[in-house]
Amino acid sequence: MNIMHSTQHGFDLNLLTVFKALYHHKNVNKASESIFISPSAFSHALNRLREVVDDPLFIRMKGEMLPTKRAEEIAPFIFESLELVSNQLFQPKKFDARSSDKEFIIATTDYTAFCVLPELMKNLEKIAPNIRIKVITESKNESLQNLILGKVDAVIGYSEHDEINNSSIDVYECCSDHYVVIASKGIYNSINLKEYIEANHIKVSAWKKHHGIIDQALKEIHLERKITLELPNMMIVPYILGTTNLMITLPNKAVEIFKKLHKIDVFPLPLDIPDYKINLYTSTKEISQVWLINEIKKLF
């Protein structure tokens, strides 16, 4: 009977451990002790393996259990298989950041990417020049689900009250920020709530969500702002502000980015809402992921 054929029909892989133990110790008692089962359980397992392979495998001679010709033939394959399983499942994988060319996948929003990637890539260029970073944008819950599944190495973005709560996800608060209103220079002297509601707004729908915290807060006081332009990211916003009277509400840290690109005025948000919090979400399993998370943490 072919052992691989049997494996496809419920073969007990524990029997391979029994084979390896007896092959090395040549004694049932010592072999059973080495894998922490009783001699009777060991003998029972050995009999099952003999039936599967259709060969006695080990024969008692001169006080030892010596392997048959068939046992000698299959031994290298059994040892190789057990070593492969052990290395893949139980041995920690080595990781050398300086020589590795591993690709890490980070799910984030474009604003968070603005805050994190320039400094992160600057650091990685020095300490891990061959490491590759792939940034993806998907819904927040989809990102966290893929984090749990191991399809994403890290998720960075603002916290939400309705996001996935899972014990396998670790959350680190990176920073917090307050919202401000940005408009092209010279249009407004100040902005009150009435002016804010009556203005034309640019809205960036991060995490592919159309109803963010600003609109939720307005809805609670029975107000609604006019969204003239909704965008999936903020890359083009400075250029639109330069040619229109539109305004946008963003975390204050974005101001420094926008000031480099266009002359703007910045005003307090005439609305009471919680600070913007950027979190780092991890579900670290591999040594390489732990390394990446530590490098991101250093940025804050």
pLDDT (tens place) for every residue of the chain, 300 residues total: 333 334 445 678 789 999 999 999 999 999 999 888 999 999 999 999 999 899 999 999 988 999 999 999 999 999 888 888 776 666 666 789 999 999 999 999 888 888 889 999 999 999 999 999 999 988 888 898 899 888 999 999 887 655 666 778 899 988 888 999 999 999 999 999 999 999 999 998 877 666 678 998 999 999 999 999 999 888 888 888 888 999 999 988 878 777 877 788 999 999 999 888 889 999 877 889 999 999 999 998
Given a contact cutoff of 8 angstroms between Cβ atoms, the answer to whether 188 and 195 are in contact is: yes
Can you spell out the DSSP letters for 44-82?
HHHHHHHHHHTS--EEEETTEEEE-HHHHHHHHHHHHHH
Quote the tokens at residue 223.
């107000």
CATH of domain 179-274: 3.40.190.10
Name the nearest CA neighbour of 247 among 261, 267, 277.
267
Confirm if 137 and 209 have CB atoms less than 8 A apart. Answer: no
Where are the domains positioned within the chain?
A: 3-89, 103-175+277-298, 179-274
Instruction: Take residue 17 and report the two structure tokens written for it.
Output: 């451990």
Among 3.40.50.1000, 1.10.10.10, 3.40.605.10, 1.10.1500.10, name the CATH number for the domain at 3-89. 1.10.10.10
CATH architecture of 103-175+277-298: 3-Layer(aba) Sandwich (3.40)
* pTM greater than 0.75: no
As beta bridge partners, residue 184 has 264
